[in-house]
């Protein structure tokens, strides 16, 4: 009885493997590419923004989660593009976050109003501009990314152009297949300069004596332009990007994304590395 059951299992496994191999070969590798965003096509882009602070003792686990999401790309069919935005409302409580800015606090407040959140808090993840959750909840974050990866997005292609010096770069943006926007809605084109591999030795405050790691820290965030109401089938534009000498170019990326002006939903995103 046991031998017959074992033989049946082996037979089913062999058949299943054969079918999967046939699907993979017949699809030119699409199946394997969709199973891992590290190979082949990168998948549907999903923008994950983390509002965080070095002065908040609850934030380091969220910072580590953002690192894992970026490095492991755990959601099949989704390309996770991350941006870490350090708010400034913790700065008077013992430690001034060197990466913080009032601009990021204001951006979080815009999301609060758009999403109906009762208050700003850290850590907070905002995924594709339309869902917010506590930034350290990995299971919930993965589920939200998976759902966001099923939403229609514009096709966006970025290309670095020759710059006039070491402290600037020009990014050419090509946009196609923009999803239909709700009536009366417009789309804004944003760009961020992010730096990865940053660390801090926190001397005071809630994280005193801790060494904190960060990825994709927003060094600059700016709205480049509002797309025309009558969009052509393919839209081209260029974005001049100024770089500060203190930033490590080899660790920089330019993240470009399309966001509905009123709802704040993200309808397209792409990124390009400035380093080798």
221 in Cβ contact with 192 (< 8 Å): yes
**2 φ/ψ angles, rounded to the nearest 5 degrees:** -65, -40
- Which residues have a Cβ under 8 Å from the Cβ of 81 and sit 6 or more positions away? 45, 46, 47, 48, 255, 257, 269, 270, 271
The span from the CA of 55 to the CA of 262, in Å, is 31
Mean pLDDT of 18-44: 41
Q: What pLDDT band is residue 41 in, cutting at 50, 70 and 90?
A: low
The span from the CA of 269 to the CA of 259, in Å, is 9
Percent residues over pLDDT 70 in the chain = 85
Q: What pLDDT band is residue 32 in, cutting at 50, 70 and 90?
A: very low
CATH number of 40-273: 2.60.40.2060
Q: How many C-beta neighbours within 10 Å does residue 189 have?
A: 21
Least confident of 14-23, 182-191, 202-211, 261-270: 14-23
Please name which of 84, 45, 80 lies closest in space to residue 63, comparing C-alpha atoms.
Answer: 84
Task: Check residue 7 and give its pLDDT.
Answer: 41
Please state, in angstroms and as integers, the Cα–Cα distance from residue 265 to each residue in 70, 158, 270, following that order: 21, 21, 15
51 in Cβ contact with 129 (< 8 Å): no
The span from the CA of 153 to the CA of 151, in Å, is 6
Is 198 a residue whose pLDDT tops 80? Answer: yes
Q: Burial of 170 by CB count in 10 Å (0-12 exposed, 13-18 middle, 19+ buried)?
A: middle
**17 φ/ψ angles, rounded to the nearest 5 degrees:** -60, -40
Q: Is the dihedral of CA 81, 196, 84, 146 positive or negative?
A: positive
Q: Average pLDDT, whole number, for the chain?
A: 87
């Amino acid at each position: 009885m046991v031998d017959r059951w074992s033989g049946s299992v082996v037979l089913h496994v062999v058949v299943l493997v054969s079918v999967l191999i046939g699907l993979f070969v017949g699809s030119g590798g699409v199946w394997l590419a969709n199973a891992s965003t590290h190979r082949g096509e990168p998948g549907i882009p999903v923008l994950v923004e983390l509002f965080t602070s070095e002065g908040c003792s609850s934030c380091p686990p969220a910072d580590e989660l953002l690192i894992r999401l970026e490095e492991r790309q755990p959601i099949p069919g989704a390309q996770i593009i991350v941006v870490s935005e350090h708010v400034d409302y913790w700065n008077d409580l013992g430690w001034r976050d060197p990466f913080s800015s009032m601009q990021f606090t204001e951006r979080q407040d815009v999301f609060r109003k758009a999403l109906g959140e009762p208050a700003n808090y850290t850590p907070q993840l905002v995924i594709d501009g339309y869902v917010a959750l506590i930034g350290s909840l990995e299971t919930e974050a993965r589920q939200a990314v998976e759902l966001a990866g099923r939403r229609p997005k514009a096709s966006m292609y970025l290309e670095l152009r020759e710059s006039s010096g070491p402290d600037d770069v020009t990014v050419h943006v090509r946009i196609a297949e923009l999803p239909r926007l709700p009536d009366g809605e417009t789309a804004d084109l944003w760009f961020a300069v992010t730096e990865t591999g940053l660390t801090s030795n926190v001397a005071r405050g809630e994280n005193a004596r801790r060494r904190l790691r960060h990825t994709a820290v927003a060094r600059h965030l700016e709205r480049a332009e509002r797309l025309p109401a009558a969009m052509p089938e393919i839209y081209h534009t260029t974005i001049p990007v100024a770089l500060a000498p203190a930033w490590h170019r080899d660790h920089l990326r330019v993240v470009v994304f399309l966001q509905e002006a009123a709802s704040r939903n993200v309808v397209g995103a792409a990124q390009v590395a400035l380093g080798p």
